[in-house]
Chain A
Amino acid sequence: MGRRVVITGLGVLAPGGIGAKNFWSLLSEGRTATRGITFFDPSSFRSRVAAEADFDPALHGLTPQDIRRMDRAAQFAVVTAREALADSGLDLAGFDPHRTGVTIGSAVGATTGLDDEYRVVSNDGRLDLVDHTYAPPHLYNHFVPSSFAAEVAWAVGAEGPATVVSTGCTSGLDSVGHAVELIREGTADVMITGATDAPISPITMACFDAIKATTPRNDDPEHASRPFDGTRNGFVLGEGSAVFVLEELESAKKRGAHIYAEIAGYASRCNAFHMTGLRPDGREMSEAIDVALAEARMNPDRIDYINAHGSGTKQNDRHETAAFKLSLGEHAYRTPVSSIKSMVGHSLGAIGSIEIAASVLAMENHVVPPTANLHTPDPECDLDYVPLTAREHRTDAVLTVGSGFGGFQSAMVLARPERSQA
């Protein structure tokens, strides 16, 4: 086996849980952070609920200049990157900055900042020829979301490979998968990697309204995100970020780092079917799971917990249930499966990384987070979805998956590095 890659630090910013500790409290207590939208007046929208983070950038060390320059999603990424680095105990001053890289996932980049600035330069949509004299210099940073990777690189002092990975709703898995590859191949020794999105804006709510992807359960926002529940009727948009410090296993051991987990396997496939539709058989997701398990050299029955994509659309929940059965066979029925989107909503590209954080913390605590709001079984979803309350459960290996627009299907296997290979 070549170079192995481990997580040695994490930072999380999620609705209802800013900082890894608060995030885990929310999940392990099964509380939900979904609510009626407060960021703008949602009265004209079909879906008026979201999982909003109560985030004050000034409290997290960002200067007024930082705040003005950076879209909310960039602010999230910088804050979680700093938390992750502090958590890792790594002093990057002792490392060659050229060997430290950054990958940040984001599905929709600075969409909120762009929506705000568009209103200004177009005079609320009145001008076809928008007015450049009203455009601030940071509009270019919003135009190109690679500015997120740049901000994180500056924040931590990285000078190795840097990029934004933007594969829609699997961005948070694919960004970390990309970072793992760079350490394995020897291009980098340390990667600061994760994902961020802050999509709760009128334009995003409007486009999901148009395809009825988000839930209209406006009278009961705390219980609106209902993955795997028979009464579900769409997802709840969320926001947030999670960032990790990845290191090569031997060098992490040498410095006595706390090792959360090894990223043992990862793969991504495309369904080549439809930009927003899924085939019910789950074949492409299953293929990604199989390849990730093979890369981890693990039999499917070694998986202790599945962190599902669980967006809370019928199509998705059935699709991935089929994929788990295809890949894990009978073991799928014995394995707890849960969706934290029931609590923190669906933050598009960010959620894949936030779910890696949840998976790692499940391993850390041997506790599986629940699927909140799951009261009514769906006969077509017949696995153990850990309804309502967290469960103590020996968790040494986790499968986490993502599925998104464009047809992307990704799977990652996290495990304790000391496991035997088989």
Chain B
Amino acid sequence: MSAKTIITGIGVATPNGLGVDDFWAATRVGKNAIDRITRFDASSYPSQLAGEIRGFEAKDHLPSRLIPQTDRMTRLALVAADCAFEDAGVKPGDIPEFDMGVVTASTSGGFEFGQNELQKLWSQGSQYVSAYQSFAWFYAVNSGQISIRNGMRGPSGVVVSDHAGGLDAIAQARRQIRKGSKLIFSGGFDASICPWGWVAQIAGGRLSTSDHPERAYLPFDAAASGYVPGEGGALLILEDRQSALERDAENVYGEVAGYGSTFDPKPGSGREPGLRRAIEVALADAGVEAGQVDVVFADAAGTPRLDREEADAITAVFGPGGVPVTAPKTMIGRLYSGAGPVDVVSAVLAIREGLIPPTTNVVLSPDYDIDLVTGQPRTASVRTALVLARGYGGFNSAVVVRAVD
């Protein structure tokens, strides 16, 4: 198939800004948005820092009838979808409804909504559970709600692969474009910063317990000791290039040129982890050599074993120090299914501006042979970027984005 899939609209909601302009203004200069949790009293928990989206009032953006039936992650996604449509200059109705679809990723669904209903069930009784519990928390809700709000009846889907899922959704969206859809919304949102979600994340054993916002999430640093969760994500409008040209799309951010995904061998097998292979598959799919990649947006797990694996995979493909590597998620925390799509947004904006945003707070450990962009943003000609995302258990996904001539 020769159809090219291009990004023509962006909606982001992250701790570092709502909307693409605010997000990039903060990201390009390395503004920190990790802070103490304010959404609930976290003082009794071993981890107390997160990347929260502050000042978001759903009722300022959405019809009031949507509020009682939506979790926070869905509200953020619906607002981001509106922004993406506006950014792309597309109005619902411009494109035939069966030619538009929605493919999103989720990690934990509407967990805060679920906590409220579980609490009603066990403290008051089953008859107090909301009718909206039948769909508001489940993993498919964002694709469903976005399709309804925007009249999109084409091929849609939902994938769950922990932190890797957002890139898998973008890849699935590209498949639908190649099969003939004109426009697919894709990305991921999670927002599980509630006590019940927090306890589940603590149970995973990989959260940082530092209480210094600048010292808590330090991937590739000798002091790496876990990650800080964040909330939010990004939605991209993907279009077939030809069809975008025909409607004179205002924004052409870049092409989704390649994708690869693998799953790690079972622990204890002694076999090499799958990340290197995922990168190689993505590069081959895009038809680019390693030497043509101008920047890698790392998954940056923030735990020594996982950082080691990622640094080894990058070094194996690109050579020691062979490509600039960055992880701007150190500013906002890990956004679960939103992480990959937000990094794809950063990648296309880096291409547009010729500037690589920095990995904040990190001092690169001499153990890793990678060229990590730390401290200040780096000016560079960026034509092709590789975005990596990995999920708990062994999910590895890689996406290549490149400039569109």
- Residues of chain A at the chain B interface (Cβ within 8 Å): 44-45, 97-98, 101-102, 107-109, 114-115, 118-119, 121-122, 124-126, 128-132, 135-140, 142-147, 149-150, 153-154, 157-168, 171, 174, 178, 181, 185, 187, 202-203, 205-211, 213, 267-276, 284, 287, 404-408
Find out whether the CB atom of A405 lies under 8 angstroms from the CB atom of B134: yes
Give the distance to chain B from A289, nearest Cβ to Cβ, in Å: 13
Find out whether the CB atom of B148 lies under 8 angstroms from the CB atom of A146: no
Find out whether the CB atom of B393 lies under 8 angstroms from the CB atom of A150: yes
Interchain CA distance A160-B174 in the complex, whole Å: 19
Beyond A270-B153, A275-B135, whether A144 also contacts B108 by CB under 8 A is: yes
Query: Which of B131, B141, B197 has the most chain A CB atoms inside 10 A of its CB?
Result: B131
Find out whether the CB atom of A130 lies under 8 angstroms from the CB atom of B126: no
Task: Find B264's partner among A142, A159, A203, A405 (CB 8 Å cutoff).
Answer: A159
Give the distance to chain B from A416, nearest Cβ to Cβ, in Å: 25
Extra inter-chain contacts (11) besides given A125-B121, A132-B203, CB under 8 Å: A130-B115, A140-B201, A143-B203, A144-B107, A146-B162, A160-B261, A163-B165, A163-B261, A167-B156, A171-B140, A275-B145
Give the distance to chain B from A199, nearest Cβ to Cβ, in Å: 10
Task: Find A166's partner among B123, B160, B197, B204 (CB 8 Å cutoff).
Answer: B160
CB of B318 closer than 8 Å to a CB of A: no
B161 proximity list for chain A (CB < 8 A): 146, 149, 162-164
Find out whether the CB atom of B148 lies under 8 angstroms from the CB atom of A137: no
Find out whether the CB atom of B195 lies under 8 angstroms from the CB atom of A130: yes
CB of B64 closer than 8 Å to a CB of A: no
B56 proximity list for chain A (CB < 8 A): none
- Residues of chain B at the chain A interface (Cβ within 8 Å): 40-41, 44-46, 69, 97-98, 101-102, 106-109, 111, 114-115, 117-127, 129-131, 133-135, 138-141, 143-145, 147-148, 150-162, 165, 168, 172, 175, 192, 195-205, 261-266, 271, 274, 277, 281, 391-395
B121 proximity list for chain A (CB < 8 A): 125, 202-203, 206
Chain B residue nearest to A147 (CB atoms) is B393
Interchain CA distance A147-B205 in the complex, whole Å: 15
A171 proximity list for chain B (CB < 8 A): 140
Interchain CA distance A135-B201 in the complex, whole Å: 10
Chain A residue nearest to B274 (CB atoms) is A159
Beyond A97-B265, A114-B114, A145-B139, whether A210 also contacts B129 by CB under 8 A is: yes
Interchain CA distance A150-B152 in the complex, whole Å: 32
A202 proximity list for chain B (CB < 8 A): 121, 126
Query: Which of A108, A126, A143 has the most chain B CB atoms inside 10 A of its CB?
Result: A143
B44 proximity list for chain A (CB < 8 A): 129
Find out whether the CB atom of A161 lies under 8 angstroms from the CB atom of B263: yes
